[in-house]
Chains A and B, each alone.
Chain A
Amino acid sequence: MTAIRVRELRKQYRVSEREAGLWSSVKSLVRRKTRTVSAVDGISFDIAPGEIVGFLGPNGAGKTTTLKMLSGLLHPSSGEIEVLGQVPWKRHADFLGRMSLVMGQRNQLVWDIPAVETFELNRAIYRIPMAQYRETLDELVDLLDLKAVMGAPVRNLSLGERMKCELTAALLHRPKVVFLDEPTIGLDVTMQRRLRDFISQYRRVHGATVLLTSHYMADVEALCRRVIVIHRGRLLFDGDLGALVGRFAAHKLISIHLATPCAGLAQYGELVSDEEGHVTLRVPKAETPRVTARLLAELPITDLTVEDPPIDEVISRVFTEGAV
């Protein structure tokens, strides 16, 4: 049983192409040159009910295009998608009523009036029974601390308050599948953490399947054990977050505390930091055991730890080098 099933999914766009200058403008009136761009180029994956998965990739990797196909907004060029047993682009009311897409940079709330009016509209559209609506709204208002902002026109809310209201509007009908596209973008650290906790709790309480994209690795680390990484429309990695680091990190960080200051540490590896006897070295992964043994044998060490590099660094290496 899968909540989301994707096979060989592709989306190609035709974009018109024109050189600069007046003559090419005139030419384009008669014959428009187009070229085909593959935004998503044959990706496949399955997501189980109740699972939360991080969907990673640099800008333009095809994440949003994939989310739009999964939520039925875009028609795939080829391939198969099934979400909750339905084909999204057929847009059956039964499917639309059980999923939600939240885009951090867009809003569905009516701008000039209080958010609660949009909530009421969604209650009517999703035909949520009054008792359930009250219960869910109370729960969301409580979890997100919304009471004070519900009555103010949306345009007067801060970015964080607006995002909380967006999430509320998107979750009132208790969707079984939630697509979150950059839900914490532009928010401060406290608010990011708050939303993260909320997403985690919502998933736990309602058994929802969540697919999340974020530029903040902290979001992904806190919420997702499994990540799917795409780059230029292709699937680079699908698996455990820890395994991603293991697979793509070419280096390890060895951190040591020295009893007395020592010179010539650069011979052991690349010196990352050296502060009052606390030294960090970057060492090629394959050489880690040998270097560790040498350090222990040759230096007055009081403490030693071997760590993976920060996940941000690993991911950015994956993206910049397209390493597989």
Chain B
Amino acid sequence: MNGLLGVYLQQWKISLAETFQYRAAMAIWLIGHVLEPLLYLVVWSAVAGANGGRVGGMGRGDFAAYFIALLLVNHVTYTWIMWEMEHRIRHGALSFALLKPLHPVHADIAANLASKLITFPVILLAAGALALLFKPAFHPSSWSVLAFLPSLLLAFLLRFALEWVLALAAFWTTRIGAVNQAYFVTALFFSGQIAPLALLPSPMAFLSKILPFRWTAGFPVDLLLGRLDPHEALHGFLAQGAWILGILLVARVLWRAALRRYSAVGS
């Protein structure tokens, strides 16, 4: 099979084979992925308990539903490209990708999807177990569950594009750890991963609306849980679309600049 689809299928096959090579690392990584939202869920349940059962209109069951949905959404949209790019550039591995008549982003997308194909069923099981333990209060409406799927796809594209563009910082500084750390802390807070965005104090809530992070996690979660009205949902889709478009435009310009800058460190 020729064309881009052939590349994706073969890259997929390779990524699957590679993922199976590192089963132990994958298992540890999965445990971390489940533990993080579980921790926030326990903390917020305790806070709700101490406040007579509710915080900002959310009870224990609401928090359980929120963090279990977040576990799934966060897993689907997760990328590791910011670490990967640094490694590639520092070790000169990017050179081989640049010698080929195909943009390296395709391999990144295929590798991401391949890895998710293996890990998602495990995360789904973990979410099921958490649901049995914490008894989430799910009250979704049918339209919002339907709208959730495209919002999840857009959240993935947005987060992938955003983190891929930020990863390009590795072309200018070979030590990108500080950039990554700053990004992850900001994203953790403003995407709704530490607390539902509805609970943020108003200046923070305002920031969460103008930053892109909410649209990568908090928005699809709120849609799935039926916490948005159709007007808010539409606004969310438009915001996702606008951010993706804007980031793709920036990516085009930055990629060209990055290539000029590339001096093949250590290769």
Contact = CB atoms under 8 A, between A and B. Distances in A.
B178 interface: no
Contact of A100 (B14, B99, B262): B99
A75 interface: yes
B98 A91 contact: yes
Interface in B1-44: 1-3, 6-7, 9-11, 13-14, 17-18, 21
Interface string A70-106: 0111110000000000000001011011001101001
A321 interface: no
A108 B3 contact: no
Contacts, number: 73
Size class of A's contact patch?
20 to 34
A124 B99 contact: no
Contacts of A13: 263
A111 B232 CA distance: 48
A99 to B, nearest CB: 8
Nearest to B4: A124
A46 interface: no
B180 interface: no
A75 B261 CA distance: 8
A12 B259 CA distance: 16
Contacts of B92: 106
B99 A120 contact: no
Interface string B211-242: 00000000000000000000000000000000
Contact of B95 (A73, A110, A124): A73
Nearest to A101: B99
Contact of B99 (A73, A110, A118, A121): A73
A91 B95 CA distance: 12
A127 interface: yes
Contacts of B7: 121, 124-125
A264 interface: no
Contacts of A112: 17-18, 21
Contacts of B3: 127
Contact of B10 (A73, A100, A106, A121): A121
Interface of B: 1-3, 6-7, 9-11, 13-14, 17-18, 21, 92, 95-96, 98-102, 259-260, 262-264, 267
Interface of A: 13, 68, 71-75, 91, 93-94, 96-97, 100-101, 103, 106, 108, 110, 112-113, 117-118, 120-127, 129
25 contacts: A73-B95, A73-B98, A73-B264, A74-B262, A75-B259, A101-B99, A103-B95, A106-B92, A110-B14, A112-B17, A112-B21, A113-B18, A117-B13, A118-B14, A121-B7, A121-B10, A121-B11, A122-B100, A123-B6, A123-B10, A124-B7, A124-B10, A125-B7, A126-B101, A129-B2
